Amino acid sequence: MRSLQRHHTRVNDANREQTYHMFYLLMPSRSERDALIEHLRQAGILSVFHYVPLHNSPMGIKLGGSPGQCPVTGEVSSRLLRLPLFFDISEAELETVAGRIKSFELASKVSAPQWTGPELSGSDPESRRALS
């Protein structure tokens, strides 16, 4: 993942502990997220959208939630893409995933996704504001 450090990263607050349970991208749009999921799938890499807002879940709707109730939550959740992350993932596997994402960027000329997760951290305050 070192080759992708130019992207925005989440900066972990010193007062919090990271659980290191996921690594995700915030894509520019839902259609670009879905296209990247397919691009990764074609290489045998499983990636999924991660978050269904609680107010849109079956129980949330039963309790009075409705689509559009939280527009920012809905918009951001439609762009999240969860990447492979597991205990014994190798550096080579990480580089394969990163390379496939880079090839998607180049082929589709999409904006670079915003990176976030525990593996990459930086001191750029803009990154913190963009992803907090």
**Mean pLDDT taken over the chain:** 77
Contact call for residues 81 and 37 (beta carbons, < 8 A): yes
Confidence of residue 67 (pLDDT cuts 50, 70, 90): confident
**pLDDT tens digits, 104-118:** 988 877 655 555 544
**What pTM was estimated for this model as a whole?**
0.68
Question: pLDDT at position 14, please?
Answer: 74
Q: Please report, for the chain, the start and end positions of each structural domain, with discontinuous segments joined by +.
A: 2-131
Structure tokens at 1: 């993942």
Architecture of the domain delimited by 2-131: Alpha-Beta Complex (3.90)
